[in-house]
Chain A
Amino acid sequence: MRAVYLVSGGVSKFTKARHDKTFQGIVKEAVDYTVNDLGIEYKNFLELTDGSVASYFSDHFQRQLMSGIMAQDYLGLCPKPSHRVEGGGATGGLAFQEGYKAIASGYMDLCCVYGFETMSHVETWKGNEFIALASDVSFDFPVGGFYSGYYAMMVVRHMKEFGTTVEQMAHVSVKNHRNAYHNPYAQKRQKLTIEDVRQSTMVAWPLTRLDICVMSDGAASVVLASEEGVRKLEKASGQTLPKVKVTGIGRGTDAMRMSDRPHKKVPLLSFEKEADYKNLKYPGIHSFRAGRSAASEAYKNAGIKNPMEELDFVELHDAYTSSEIQTYEDLGLCRYGEGGEMATSGKTFMPGIDYGMKLKEKPVCPVNPSGGLIACGHPVGATGLMQAVFALWQLQGTIAKHFKDEALQVKGAKRGLIHSHAGTGTYVTVSILEAA
């Protein structure tokens, strides 16, 4: 396999509703930014790019089939090869990895991956219904299809199994909203307290409105390149690109119906022992087996043994505060059962930011320095690519340039992880990025 570089990215502002542009126009915004940042003319970009991957989740939010090709032609990328990728909430992560494969395999030297979602086309509760259609329509949806309800059941079991508390979950909300305060792309930039989170409207016990991400309109895009692709771009722009290498990808899956998830043994990471989990039945509904599978594969490819020590930051799929805690464990940032404690320890917070509360330990590996989905928003097809863009800027050390604020720059970041996750943990992707 060939080396794959992430060389540029762009994100549109995520907002509740972008009535000012069609989805094609929003995608163009993200791609324009991506091309500008490469320091080349758009026409140059069209000449050099070998093809693309389109990332979007839903056909019924827009009541438009084949949206992908409409973005492709608007971007001026026809007749170059392209295909659409869909995998629920993990759509963006999967699309990123499809771009990776196109480069690694030698099929392309330069691949543009663009993603979008415009969820404002229907009312919020209809939107929730559409999302819940990503659950079995024979056995699950008719019982009371509601994604927040599904995740609530998962965390109730996590609480029962490990003693995780709602205050620990609230810490994630405070952290991510507070981080987003310095991210101009974020939809919700708020200074909150634990009490604010707990006293906010109850949505699905024990998850409140501030434990849950919001629906958004938005787009994001990246350009992936081979060594040869990088050379072409550098020749065209006349400058050296601050590039980032994709050193490992991993994926996993689990059964659509939570009721079908097995109760077996934990697939161990290198620092874990079977004795750590003597009485734990895994994954049940408390953990995401797909996340563990994706992490384990990505770590193997990137040669990572102890993720907490070897990663400088993580951008993970926090559609719910509870899933951030569960994901700490799947990714091996701590052992299973220790996620709640990790959330309050301070280890996953940003240095130099005042969260308005006392934290026991110093930051070790900031998680969701951008603010994550909870604060940035979750325009599904764009989300996983937004993570890639923010991670690229972290590793380039260009956060200050793009955010017009340096507070969220993880100083000297060399290696980061991005994690994309689909409904109740059905598809999960993990990609490792390193400063090259």
Chain B
Amino acid sequence: MKKKFIDRIREMKGGEILEPVIFPDSLDSLKTMAPIIIKQPYAIDYIHSYGQDSPWFAGLANKKLLGTKCCKCGYVFATPKLSCMECGAECDWVELPQEGRIHSFTVCHFGAEAFLDQCPFILGLIEFEGADTLLLTRLVGPNPNEANLKWVGMKVKAEFVQKPECKPTDVYFVPV
């Protein structure tokens, strides 16, 4: 019986071969064989510590928005850094105002696999009075289909989720 040589990409489901792997009679033709493709699942729970940034997440759980301020030069970080990027001195925790303005934004119509089911969603960078840096957050309220440059500068305020998960999404911003 003449064996049929593999001439196209082979897919396997969960390690199960969907059809028998057929081998040619002569080794000479092996270099023209189509590739065999298998699936290799990969899942893992990472033990992720927020380390010195932990108080920021504890703040969210208590409806407080924290930033840090350099003890030496006074630079204020709206996304916390415990070491000052400007002078290298240590920073202290301070409370940020819960109102700010949209510095920039986008509407994500696609996203990483983890967020695909939430599309379209709005990402925003928020600027605060008295802070030198910004905060990345979700914006809720504006219609994602009506994105326009006028959103830049819009006054927004922090809202906190009812059931905090110790993630940066425990806070989001809405128009004032």
Contact = CB atoms under 8 A, between A and B. Distances in A.
Interface stretch (A5-13, A105-113, A139-147): A139-147
B2 interface: no
A142 B167 contact: yes
A143 B111 CA distance: 11
Given A139-B136, A260-B133, A205 B168 contact: no
Nearest to A18: B35
Contacts, number: 135
B129 interface: no
A197 interface: no
Chain A interface size range: 35 or more
Interface residues of B, number: 47
A179 B118 CA distance: 37
Contacts of A257: 79, 136
B108 A146 contact: yes
Contact of A202 (B9, B109, B123, B124): B109
A418 B121 CA distance: 36
Nearest to A131: B112
Contacts of A160: 104, 149, 152
B123 A126 contact: no
A195 B106 CA distance: 21
A411 interface: no
Contact of B149 (A125, A144, A156, A259): A156
A39 interface: no
Contact of A203 (B85, B110, B138): B110
Interface string B99-123: 0000111111111111110100101
A309 interface: no
A154 interface: yes
Interface of B: 9, 34-35, 37, 40, 42, 48, 50, 53, 77-79, 81, 85-86, 103-116, 118, 121, 123-125, 132-138, 147, 149, 152, 167-169
Q: List 5 A-B pairs, minimum CB-CB distance, nearest first.
A: A129-B112, A152-B106, A259-B134, A157-B104, A125-B113
